Structure formats: structure tokens, C-alpha cells
Amino acid sequence: MKVADVMTADVETVKPDQSIQQAASFMLRADAGSVPVCDGERLLGMVTDRDIAVRAVAEGMGPDTPVREAMTSDIHYCFEDEDVEAVAAKMSESQVRRMPVVSRDGQRLVGIVALGDISRSNEHDIAALALDGITDPGGEHSQS
């Protein structure tokens, strides 16, 4: 099964020049902990509630701070034509619960895949394995 078969294709995004307050308001309305940051359709990064709290607010940045100053630009992503099993392994290794899905032609954002998407597919055993890796202590959680 391919990622395109299980991903969410209609993804809300924020622009890098929007404020972190706008991004946080979006997350509140969408009940989401992260949102892709895009310039048009091109994926630039992700901003998470943790980025806003730890990277921005804790360092004294105000609500009008542009998302580009708080976002994570070195992100893990997958391609829409990858197998779900391979992507679940990437998610486990990277210790992320959701991953942007991009096209092979210039990193155009085409969707987002979450562990929940995988678990609702016929690949729920794969999702369980990925979750085990994600919840292991340690990993690459850097807020630099």
C-alpha cells in the first residue's frame, strides 16, 4: 500500500511570514499540534506547539514573531509513492507521529500522513511497530 492511499490530502498550512499567534490559533481551531509551513505549495518546514512554546515564547519572542523564526526547517518527510511500511519505519526512526508528504517534483506538499492514518488502514500492525519506536526514550528532539 502506498502513502497516497492513506494520507490526508487536504492539508491546511501557514506561511513563513505569518505570526506564531496566527499559527497557534490555527492549531487550536484544528486541534492539531503541528502545521506545515509552505511558500505556495513548496514545503519549507513545520511549526509545532512545542516550537512556539520552547523555541519562541521561552526565548522571549512575542506573538507577532514570524513563523519562520520558530519553525523547524530540517524536517523529515516522505514521498506519496513510498510504501506505508517504509514510511512507518521512517516515522519510528525519526520519532514523529506525523510526516509531510511531498511530490518528487520539487517538494510540493501533497498531504500529511499520521500514525492514525496508518492504523486505520490495513497496515495497523505496522503502525503499532512505528509507535513503539516513537515512544522509545531518546531520539533527535532538537529545538536548536
d(CA 100, CA 80): 9
Domain ranges of the chain: 3-134
What is the mean pLDDT, run by run of 10 residues, along the chain of 144 residues?
Answer: 92 95 94 92 93 92 96 93 90 87 89 85 55 51 44
Residue 115: what pLDDT?
83
Please give the pLDDT value at position 26: 93
Query: Any residues with CB less than 8 A from the CB of 87 and at least 6 apart, and which?
Result: 3, 78, 99, 113, 118
Instruction: Quote the CA–CA distance of 28 and 49 in Å, as a whole number.
Output: 10
pLDDT at res. 116: 80
Cβ density class 95-108: b for 16+ within 10 Å, e for less: bbebbbbbeeeebe
Q: Does an H or E element contain 24, and which? A: helix 20-30
Write down the pLDDT at residue 133: 47
**Calpha distance 63→92 (Å, rounded):** 33
CA of 28: how far to CAs of 48, 58, 123, 134, in Å?
12, 19, 29, 24
Q: If DSSP codes are grouped into helix, strand and coil, which group holds residue 112?
A: strand
User: What's residue 28's pLDDT?
Assistant: 94
The pLDDT tens digits of the residues spanning 112-127 come to: 998 888 877 665 455 4
Closest to 99 in 3D by CA, of 28, 88, 69: 88
**Collapsing DSSP states into helix, strand and coil, what is residue 19?**
strand
- The CATH number of the structural domain formed by 3-134 is 3.10.580.10
